[in-house]
């Protein structure tokens, strides 16, 4: 089976292009293929299926075999792969995911801008335990004897954004897995630890559901920007600095979130 290895700011994926891997149990295969010592090595596997014209189905399996609803970095990678190898005459794509439809556009500068849709704040939409119609923008979460104030939001997948004084030295591997599996999140959760450097710049580190620490998270960057903008901490266009690079996120409350950043091929192969 042919595969393409791509990364978005170090968040890396094994892509299975349209026409490859039909009938394969990718949930079972993912832990082995994603293993960085005995496999190809990646944060997840992404399967693309041609729906006609500029539309494709995109399914994402985390490195532990669980299926994710959405992945922002994979979306940018998918757009560039599809434009280069399958639709060279098209720059705008429609990707159908379990978390909804996203619309990436390959820009002239080789970056990709993605219309990620509107954020969702209701508990039932994220999901967060409790009344499904209630807002989840203010949560108090306990982990390892500490209490954290979190902003919960869905970008097609669940996120909890926590603003901290020092993201660089925050004990990510101690607090992240506890909050990922917190009882407040029936489908688990991605957890972002964000530090405001100024009103246009955010330093963020992430613990991803089903993956652990990753170098970047596109939906997490969107969630972080939304949290900062909705709470008045930042302007409506911000630069999010991740371990693997930077993303530009713009959002006007009540509108859609737009994410712009790089995506690069690492190598291709057969397995």
90-117 b/e with 16+ CB inside 10 Å = b?
ebebebebebbebbbbbeeeebbbbbbb
217 a catalytic residue: yes
User: Radius of gyration of the chain from Cα atoms?
Assistant: 18
Kindly provide the b/e burial profile for residues 246-260, where b requires at least 16 CB atoms within 10 angstroms of the residue's own CB.
Answer: ebbbbbeeeeebbbb
Q: Residue 250 corresponds to which tokens in the numbers above? A: 């713009």
What the block records as the tokens of 216 is: 């970047």
The residue annotated as part of the active site, out of 34, 77, 113, 217, is: 217
The residue annotated as part of the active site, out of 34, 71, 189, 222, is 71
DSSP class of 178: H
| Backbone φ, ψ for residue 16 (5° rounding) | -110, 110
DSSP letter string, 68-101:
ES--HHHHHHHHHHHHHHT-TT--B-EEEETTEE
- 231 CB-side CA count, 13 A: 20
113 is an active site residue: no
CA distances 144 to 26, 158, 173, Å, are 34, 21, 12
Show the tokens assigned to 139.
Answer: 């949560």
User: How far apart, in whole angstroms, are the C-alpha atoms of residue 190 and residue 178?
Assistant: 11
Structure tokens at 249: 């996120």
Active site amino acids: 71, 217
């Amino acid at each position: 089976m042919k595969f393409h290895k791509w990364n978005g700011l170090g968040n890396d994926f094994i892509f299975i292009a349209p026409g490859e891997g039909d009938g394969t149990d990718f949930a079972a295969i993912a832990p082995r293929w994603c293993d960085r010592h005995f496999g190809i090595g990646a944060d997840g596997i992404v399967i693309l299926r041609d729906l006609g014209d500029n539309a494709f189905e995109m399914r994402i399996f985390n490195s532990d075999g669980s299926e994710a609803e959405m992945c922002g970095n994979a979306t940018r990678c998918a757009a560039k792969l599809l434009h280069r190898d399958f639709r060279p005459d098209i720059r705008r794509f429609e990707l159908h995911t379990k978390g909804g439809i996203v619309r990436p556009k390959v820009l002239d500068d080789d970056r990709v801008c993605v219309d990620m849709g509107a954020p969702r704040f209701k508990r039932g939409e994220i999901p967060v335990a409790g009344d499904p119609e209630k807002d989840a923008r203010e949560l108090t979460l306990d982990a390892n004897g500490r209490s954290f104030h979190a902003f919960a939001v869905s970008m097609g997948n669940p996120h909890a954004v926590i603003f901290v004084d020092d993201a660089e030295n925050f004990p990510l591997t101690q607090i992240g897995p506890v909050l990922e599996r917190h009882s407040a999140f029936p489908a688990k959760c991605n957890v972002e630890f964000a530090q405001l450097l100024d009103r246009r710049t955010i330093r963020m580190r992430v613990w991803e559901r089903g993956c652990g620490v990753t170098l970047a998270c596109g939906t997490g960057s969107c969630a972080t920007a939304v949290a900062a903008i909705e709470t008045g901490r930042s302007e409506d266009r911000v630069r999010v600095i991740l371990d693997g690079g930077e993303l530009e996120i713009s959002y006007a409350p009540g509108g859609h979130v737009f994410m712009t950043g790089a995506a690069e091929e690492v190598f291709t192969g057969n397995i």
